[in-house]
Structure 1
Amino acid sequence: MQYRDFIPLVFPSELHTFVIAGPCSAESEEQVMTTARSLRDEAGVRIFRAGLWKPRTLPGCFEGVGEAGLPWLMRVQDELGMQVATEVATREHVELALKAGIKMLWLGARTTSNPFAVQEIADTIGKNDAVTVLVKNPISPDLDLWTGALERLRQSGVERIGAVHRGFSTYAAKTFRNPPHWQIPFDLKRRFPSLTVLCDPSHISGRREWIETLCRQAMEMNFDGLIVESHCRPDEALSDAAQQITPQTLATILHRLSVPRRQLGEQDEELLSWRMQIDQIDEGILEMLARRMQVADQIGRFKKEHNIAVVQSMRYEQLQRHRAVTAQLLGMDEAFVSELFSRIHEESVRLQTFDNSSPQTDEPTP
């Protein structure tokens, strides 16, 4: 299928790395102004983001201040000279934001996943040359659903359109809150080479200690910029506190990322694609290992309750023989596979011995 490319966006920025930043939620006028001023003065950020309407998974959580926060964002724009952006999920949100004077909107993952909601928003914005709309990827790793949201906006007359990669939800145990599946935004960029694609390390990670690593990885993959959650007092945030960083921390990260990047050639892109596949596989291996150790822990508790020895040598030898045969069939080195699973079993023994107060042993067990 042939795809018509999008027009690249141009943003105001004094930074080598283009950044949109601000708190997950606008909580008070003081919090908004303090955070925005620090982001401008200390981190050099020129576009301030803050959620007013917060679609939350469970009822009873803080769902944003709503329309009451619009004057706060306009103060940031008027007094600090920063462009402002907020999330919209309904026709009413769009109408209120545009009426207040907000020129940048974004669609969250839940909204992107709903074509009816996207169409309603697209029709409400219509042909408005002054409005920029950013579309986060859908909750599920579905490239066509993401593309469909972008196309609905374009067909309704919206011209200034960008995409935001925020990772994908999964039920399995995982390293990140929303595993990135880097191949999907990479394929989106292949479909639309001129489309502006930003990375949201805050929602991918779910934890502030991963923010810098993910920012660097995104820049190495030639993303066009970053959208980062930053709060003047992140530990007190009413939503997503664990993934927000202070403006000062963001300034430090951006300083470390300030080394200019060369443009990728065709050979580099092929290498980058392979690296993304390796990264995704490695994340899967770690998640599977974590699940295996959880099961090993449950087995250890069962053994303790039923007075069964931790070490099961016969079972271990049977497994190693089976894995040697499997390794041979898969074209892998038998010695490498034997050593790998020996170390995994040793860790299982350590967990079962530690958790169940059994004597230490050098022999592994499943």
Structure 2
Amino acid sequence: MVQDIADALRGTDIPVLVKNPLNPDIELWYGAINRLLKAGVKEVGAIHRGFSVWGTHMYRNQPIWRIPAELRERMPGITIVCDPSHIAGKSSLVPLVAERALEHGVGGLMVEVHPDPPSAMSDASQQLTPAAFASMMKELDLDRKGCCKDAPELIDDLSSEMDMVDELLVHAIASRMELSRKIDSMGHAGSSKPSAAEKSATGERLANLATGDGLRPGFISRLFGEITRESGKLKYSVNTGFKNRI
């Protein structure tokens, strides 16, 4: 679809702003912008409206500020506009997100304003009244260059991201355990288990991924070994419990 849009806009001078994908994937965002640039679209910018991730969090969409920061590193001249309304999900949090966005050096803000938010047709909870918007704009430091952020604020942002990654990691391990349990139950029904060659290929694939991400393959091997052993313990516990009920 992005390529179809790029082809339709080929050679035009219409400004185009590309929203980030729902998934926190820099390659998807960067790739969509590049398609437009290669099609000859002269004015291309980006809209940062947060990412959908697993779990319950303070914001509706997580800002994950490192992703727009990386986009700016890859495309130094690009203008990134932040949508604090969609990130916050609540009108009371919009000023905080807007302030954080300016601290991170965004080129502009796109804020939802409605004369009567409760009667809005959509996203009523995240819309500001004109008076609240005016008050927020008076409080914001619009001349901030994004280079003077205090260390405690940076640590808070990074700690929040790390907490989110920890939650995702726990959910991912739980999902893997469940998949392993299903595979094991199918094995009892007669399906074949992975061969030694297949296990070796999996280990090599994980080692290559680890190296590519700057991790030691030995650490990843030990980590997955521990996950596999724990998975085996859980399967044994489930099977034993089932037998005891017969």
**Which residue of 2 is the match for residue 126 of structure 1?**
10
Looking at structure 1, the residues matched to 144 and 120 of structure 2 have their Cα atoms a distance apart, in angstroms, of: 34
User: Structure 1 263/245 Cα, relative in aligned 2: closer, same or farther at 3 Å?
Assistant: closer
Q: Gapped runs of 5+ residues in structure 2?
A: 172-246
Pair 145,284 (structure 1): closer, same or farther in 2 beyond 3 Å? closer
Q: Is 1:118–1:149's contact at 8 Å kept on the other side of the alignment?
A: yes
Mark the CA change 1:139 to 1:263 in structure 2 (over 3 Å): closer, same or farther.
Answer: closer
Partner secondary structure for residue 163 of structure 1:
strand
State how 1:1-366 maps to structure 2 within 5 Å: 117-129=1-13, 131-258=14-141, 260-262=143-145, 264=147, 276-282=157-163
Alpha-carbon distance, 1:262 to partner? 4.5
> Which residues of structure 1 form unaligned runs of 5+?
1-116, 292-366
For each residue in 1:36-73, what CA deviation from the matched residue of structure 2 results, as whole angstroms up to 9, or x when unmatched? Answer: xxxxxxxxxxxxxxxxxxxxxxxxxxxxxxxxxxxxxx
- Alpha-carbon deviation of 1:240? 0.8
User: Under a length normalisation based on structure 2, what TM-score does the superposition of the two structures give?
Assistant: 0.62
Secondary structure of the 2:18 match is strand
Amino acid at match of 2:15: T
Normalising by structure 1, we get a TM-score of 0.43
For residue 237 of structure 1, report the CA deviation from its aligned partner.
0.7
Secondary structure in 1 matching 2:16: strand
Per chain length, whose mean CA-contact separation is higher, i.e. which structure has more relative contact order (CA < 8 Å, sep 6+)?
1
Structure-2 separation of matches of 1:146 and 1:234: 31
Whichever structure has more helix as a proportion of its residues is 2
**Which residue type is aligned with residue 146 of structure 1?**
W
In the aligned structure 2, how far is the partner of 1:273 from the partner of 1:188? 18
- Per-residue CA deviation, residues 114-145 of structure 1 (Å, 9 max, x unaligned), is xxx1111111122112x110011001000000
AA paired with 1:134? L
Q: Structure 1 CA distance, aligned partners of 2:43 and 2:151?
A: 29
* Deviation string, structure 1 residues 227-265 (Cα, Å, up to 9, x no partner): 111112111011111111112211110111146325628
CA distances 1:286-325 after superposition (whole Å, capped 9, x unpaired): x79xx9xxxxxxxxxxxxxxxxxxxxxxxxxxxxxxxxxx
Aligned-partner Cα distance in 1 for 2:150–2:3: 34
Give deviations 1:72-103, integer Å, cap 9, x for gaps.
xxxxxxxxxxxxxxxxxxxxxxxxxxxxxxxx
Distance 1:263 1:203 in 2: 21
Q: SS where residue 57 of structure 2 aligns?
A: coil
> Please, what is the CA RMSD of the aligned residues?
2.7
In the alignment, is the contact (CA less than 8 A) between 2:103 and 2:145 conserved in 1?
no
